[in-house]
Amino acid sequence: MNVDSQRAGRTGGRDARRAMRNAPVFDMLPALKRGIPTCDVMDEDQIARIDNASMAILEDVGIVFRDERALSQWRVAGADVRGERVHLDRGLVKQLISSIPSEWTYRARNPARNLNFGGKYSIFAPMGGAPYIRGLDNERRWATLADLQMLLKLTQMSPALHCTSHHIIEPMDVKVSYRHLDIAYSSIKYSDKMFMGMATTERNAEDVVKMAEIVFGPEVLETTPVITGNANCNSPLVWDELMLGAIRAFSSKNQPILCSPFALGGANTPASAAPTVAQLNAEALAGLSYTQVVRKGSPAIYGHFLATVSMKSGAPMAGTPEISLMNFMIGQMARHYGVPWRTSNLLGGAKSFDAQAGYESAMTLNAVLHAGANFIWHSAGWNEGGLQCSVAKFVVDADMCAMGYRMAEGVRWDDFDEAIQAVRDVGPGGHYLGHPHTQANFERGFYMPKLFDDKPFEQWQAEGSVEITARALSYAKRLLDEYQEPKLDEGIDEALKDFIAKRKREIPAEDALNTDR
Amino acid sequence: MNVDSQRAGRTGGRDARRAMRNAPVFDMLPALKRGIPTCDVMDEDQIARIDNASMAILEDVGIVFRDERALSQWRVAGADVRGERVHLDRGLVKQLISSIPSEWTYRARNPARNLNFGGKYSIFAPMGGAPYIRGLDNERRWATLADLQMLLKLTQMSPALHCTSHHIIEPMDVKVSYRHLDIAYSSIKYSDKMFMGMATTERNAEDVVKMAEIVFGPEVLETTPVITGNANCNSPLVWDELMLGAIRAFSSKNQPILCSPFALGGANTPASAAPTVAQLNAEALAGLSYTQVVRKGSPAIYGHFLATVSMKSGAPMAGTPEISLMNFMIGQMARHYGVPWRTSNLLGGAKSFDAQAGYESAMTLNAVLHAGANFIWHSAGWNEGGLQCSVAKFVVDADMCAMGYRMAEGVRWDDFDEAIQAVRDVGPGGHYLGHPHTQANFERGFYMPKLFDDKPFEQWQAEGSVEITARALSYAKRLLDEYQEPKLDEGIDEALKDFIAKRKREIPAEDALNTDR
């Protein structure tokens, strides 16, 4: 059942209403408004200790901006620039980040999918960046553009996923220098939710912002966030030319960009949680400050990617206790500075969708929710440390986001008195299934996980002992069968196609000129 | 490597030290002392609203005590008893529960395993009650006493499991009326951690308390908690004869008992979180009050078991958002009354150890840790809604408890300045693996999950694509190979065996007299 036929069901006859009750709802949930407290693991003195350590790093050690244009902008802005190292005074940093908006509303292609963001508002986006996919057959292979389009359709059908993620997978069948174009076009075409734009280089970022201008009109971007990019800091303490160019492309057009140190705890940060946060905080603040050098008042998001590194293999681990603690701490720092923040969700390091993947993912989900993150990226599909997008995991994760959403909304009180009356009606030794309050409130009262089996063992066994991977893949197929494309305005579609065609003609010549790309 | 040879390693030569570094540590962690805040989802007014609703239920509706002796005790205590229904005035309830200690120290057979308990202190105990086991071969079958003994050995070898759980599985090969004896003896013999005593009937509870007296001496029990029982309320609002007898057996001997309403949300409680907590709170308070009628000042624990019921199958579900919310709320209520509280951990409803089990379990673990529970039961092995103990899940869950322990301890600051100096030493673009701080702090800094695979895909595949179930079962076998029995004093051992033999002679005659048992 698609969104349109659901709507018909609401005004249609009895059969339609019954069908609606039994069918899953695919309408997007509004941005999550938190109703539970954040897990504040630091007191004010400890927040000050992190802040002070980060600022001292920026002042004394400095941070590398490997980009001539950024260095000259920093000189103009009053920073102490020594070679590539920019020494940032804490006064300058605090003044610059003070102009970052703490909340805004994202506009989506479908205005019903606009999103409150920042403060108490959080949004979930699926994973990004996997070169491999475990597809509908559960086999692992290189991912393709067709896979991306399938995953965009699943995103569109997942109520708790609030926006798409540019390259959910890396479309390995598309030339690297064209990928950002095909990815952005697919994001816009197959979903009417807010989308992300590849910020892999300045040129690519400019291209995707241009495509957003085609969809919304340049004047809309001047006042309204419609797209989000991600720029990674090369920890420790290096912002490189590609990422700084991407920041320029987004910030100059008033579009939000995630300033995300990429911390592999113990490898490119100290082997300890609090000092890792101090380093990462310095890196994020430097990136955020630069967004305001580019354009004062432009929206920006305190980002990070966070893993701890295995002593055995050197590989990033997911779901470990220190990742949770660092999420809580980073949340406190971002709130201290009044800047919305991004984290990563439902991360798995498992190779298949086994119990390890489930544990790791749910550990991350809870960390993220208790930490109070605003932009909750990588929320569906992430396994094998991000090298693999598992389609089975994708649909389960999307439902886990819906469950996390329900938890983070907090406790409902609207039926309290009525339900206490039910306790009096039922009395000692009675049961509630037949009580009118139960019948009226069951679905609102207790979330029913979509893909968890709750049948008795004997029935489960008689039906073939189907584990969650197979159930999830069947469910994904059903979603794809029921998917209906949210039609893109034909004029916009043509303009996007023309732009892409033009860029694909131009890019080979640009690449020949810029061998470093 | 066992605990003794570890200790030898600490004082022995270089080889022993190297072996120690590479071997897992099996020493028990002390009781967890929380260093993170509790997730308080209710404000003072909302706590008062629950309290008021619960008290009004106890006053107006009353609660059934299906036991003549309890009813006459309630009359003496000043309650308004009408037939089986006891109407408890809020003043009486608050006065009674005020004498329950809020913290105590449990004594274990091995004094190095004594446990702080209550307030900021929490302990983990494995699951209880499964009639089925998925054993070392991962096949599901009826459980036996030999399985129980194996699981007690695994408990002994798990650092974050602080006590055993009486019938981790139901030994189906032992006559029902003898089980409590064989279970208690096995608990005492195969582990020197604190143990639980079956509280299935008054007679059984008296037997296991008597066995604790044999181990510790009756005078020790008069002053010191050494054993814990569990009494379930039959929700809604019925305490039955078996459970009230068990409370008498424990409370009269000054031993802690969990007063645990057994809530199946939507079936025996309203279909809504806050009213379910109000009902459960009334039931727990009535049980806790009764412990103080039996013996003022005896230790008691605010218990509960909490599931939400599937609308599709009527089966209990695990890991759902409302279970998390209700845990947060119950924690607030217990702290409001100043009584330590128990919850259930790492619950799975899956039939096999698949990703569903992982998600469900980790959702529960996080709920429990953020809720701040003190007695954290069912912390290892629980799957299939408690009907099944999975050995693979048992050892993974035990490690998840160690991870949760690390998270709930909070942030370490002791190496902060030293690590910030490492940031200065390493500088932009450097790496930390070779830095002395990293080398000295890696294991302390970042937890290494014991059973999560972090190898590259190709290596994982070349090694046979082993998923977590197989890895966990191999690990369990290794633990059992390395297990060394913590020898029980021979005199105590003989006395216990004599007592059990005597009771096994007496019980058939008692059963003939008490057909209702």
pLDDT digits (tens, 9 = 90+) for A384-413: 999 999 999 999 999 999 999 999 999 999
**What does the pLDDT read at residue A20?**
44
Answer yes or no: is pLDDT of A111 > 50: yes
Q: Which residues pair with A307 in a beta bridge?
A: A264
B253: amino acid identity, one letter: K
Residue that wins the pLDDT comparison between A287 and B26? A287
CA distances, B83 to each of B62, B66, B67 (Å): 11, 10, 11
Torsion sign across C-alpha atoms A369, A372, A375, A377: negative
CA distances, B206 to each of A391, B105, B198, B294, B407 (Å): 55, 22, 9, 14, 39
Per-residue pLDDT of A87-107, as tens digits, reads: 999 999 999 999 999 999 999
Answer yes or no: is pLDDT of B411 > 80: yes
**Average pLDDT score over residue span A479-507:** 97
B256: amino acid identity, one letter: P
- Alpha carbons A90 and A285: distance in angstroms, whole number: 10
Helices and strands, counts by H and E, chain A: 19, 20
Q: Please, are residues B482 and B157 in contact by the beta-carbon 8 Å criterion?
A: yes
Answer yes or no: is pLDDT of A477 > 90: yes
Residue among B41, B44, B272 with most chain A CBs within 10 A, to mutate? B272
- Alpha carbons A23 and B269: distance in angstroms, whole number: 26
Average pLDDT along chain B: 94
Interchain contact, B270 vs A441, CB within 8 Å = yes
**What does the pLDDT read at residue A25?**
64
Q: What is the CA radius of gyration of chain B?
A: 24
- Give me the phi and psi of B43, to 5 degrees please: -90, 180
**What does the pLDDT read at residue A366?**
98
- Alpha carbons B137 and B392: distance in angstroms, whole number: 9
Q: How confident is the model at residue B442 (pLDDT cuts 50, 70, 90)?
A: confident
**What does the pLDDT read at residue B17?**
44
Residue among A354, A424, A444, A475 with most chain B CBs within 10 A, to mutate? A354
Q: Does B62 touch chain A (CB under 8 A)?
A: yes
Answer yes or no: is pLDDT of B369 > 90: yes
Q: How confident is the model at residue B511 (pLDDT cuts 50, 70, 90)?
A: confident
**What does the pLDDT read at residue B13?**
45
**What does the pLDDT read at residue A24?**
54
Interchain contact, A319 vs B416, CB within 8 Å = no
Q: Smallest Cα–Cα separation from A127: which of A311, A375, A363, A381?
A: A381
Per-residue pLDDT of A36-92, as tens digits, reads: 999 999 999 999 999 999 999 999 999 999 999 999 999 999 999 999 999 999 999
Per-residue pLDDT of B149-176, as tens digits, reads: 999 999 999 999 999 999 999 999 999 9
Across the interface, of B132, B312, B413, the residue whose CB is closest to A454 is B312
- Alpha carbons B165 and B181: distance in angstroms, whole number: 14
Q: How confident is the model at residue B16 (pLDDT cuts 50, 70, 90)?
A: very low
- Alpha carbons B26 and B127: distance in angstroms, whole number: 19
CA distances, B304 to each of B83, B119, B238 (Å): 26, 18, 14
Per-residue pLDDT of B245-255, as tens digits, reads: 999 999 999 99
Cis status of the peptide bond prior to A236, with omega within 30 of 0: yes
Judged by CB atoms within 8 Å, which residues 256-275 of A form the interface with B?
Answer: 265-275
Residue among A60, A384, A423 with most chain B CBs within 10 A, to mutate? A423
- Alpha carbons A73 and B136: distance in angstroms, whole number: 65
Closest-approach residue (CA) in chain A for B428: A237
- Alpha carbons A207 and A211: distance in angstroms, whole number: 6
What whole-number percentage of chain A has pLDDT above 70? 94
Answer yes or no: is pLDDT of A22 > 50: no
Closest-approach residue (CA) in chain B for A64: B428
Secondary structure (3-state) at A66: strand
Cα of B67 to nearest chain A Cα, Å: 15
Secondary structure (3-state) at B149: helix
Burial of A15 (0-12, 13-18, 19+ CB in 10 A): exposed
- Could you give the count of Cα atoms lying within 13 Å of A131 in the half-sphere of its Cβ? 5
Sequence-ordered list of residues with C-beta below 8 angstroms from that of A408, at least 6 positions apart, any chain: A32, A34, A35, A36, A122, A369
Residues of B in contact with A46 (CB under 8 A): 411, 413
Q: Does A352 touch chain B (CB under 8 A)?
A: yes
Cα of B492 to nearest chain A Cα, Å: 41
- Could you give the count of Cα atoms lying within 13 Å of B463 in the half-sphere of its Cβ? 13
**What does the pLDDT read at residue B314?**
83
Answer yes or no: is pLDDT of B9 > 50: no
Q: Does A436 touch chain B (CB under 8 A)?
A: no
Answer yes or no: is pLDDT of B412 > 60: yes
- Alpha carbons B406 and B395: distance in angstroms, whole number: 17
Interchain contact, B308 vs A234, CB within 8 Å = no
Cα of B88 to nearest chain A Cα, Å: 14
**What does the pLDDT read at residue A5?**
36
- Alpha carbons A146 and B331: distance in angstroms, whole number: 49
Answer yes or no: is pLDDT of B11 > 50: no
**What does the pLDDT read at residue B7?**
36
Q: State both tokens at B187.
A: 């608990």
Residues of B in contact with A309 (CB under 8 A): 446
Answer yes or no: is pLDDT of B64 > 50: yes
Sequence-ordered list of residues with C-beta below 8 angstroms from that of B461, at least 6 positions apart, any chain: A351
Residues of A in contact with B425 (CB under 8 A): none
Judged by CB atoms within 8 Å, which residues 135-174 of B form the interface with A?
Answer: 140
Q: How confident is the model at residue B510 (pLDDT cuts 50, 70, 90)?
A: confident
What whole-number percentage of chain B has pLDDT above 90? 91
- Alpha carbons A474 and A392: distance in angstroms, whole number: 9
Residue among B264, B279, B313, B420 with most chain A CBs within 10 A, to mutate? B420
Answer yes or no: is pLDDT of A124 > 50: yes
- Alpha carbons B159 and B141: distance in angstroms, whole number: 28
Answer yes or no: is pLDDT of B5 > 70: no
Average pLDDT along chain A: 94
**Average pLDDT score over residue span A489-517:** 88
Per-residue pLDDT of B330-357, as tens digits, reads: 999 999 999 999 999 999 999 999 999 9
Cis status of the peptide bond prior to A126, with omega within 30 of 0: no
Q: Does B491 touch chain A (CB under 8 A)?
A: no
Q: Does A22 touch chain B (CB under 8 A)?
A: no
Per-residue pLDDT of A132-146, as tens digits, reads: 999 999 999 999 999
**What does the pLDDT read at residue B10?**
37
**Average pLDDT score over residue span A174-181:** 96
Cα of A329 to nearest chain B Cα, Å: 9
Across the interface, of A268, A393, A438, the residue whose CB is closest to B270 is A438
Q: How confident is the model at residue A258 (pLDDT cuts 50, 70, 90)?
A: very high
Answer yes or no: is pLDDT of B15 > 80: no
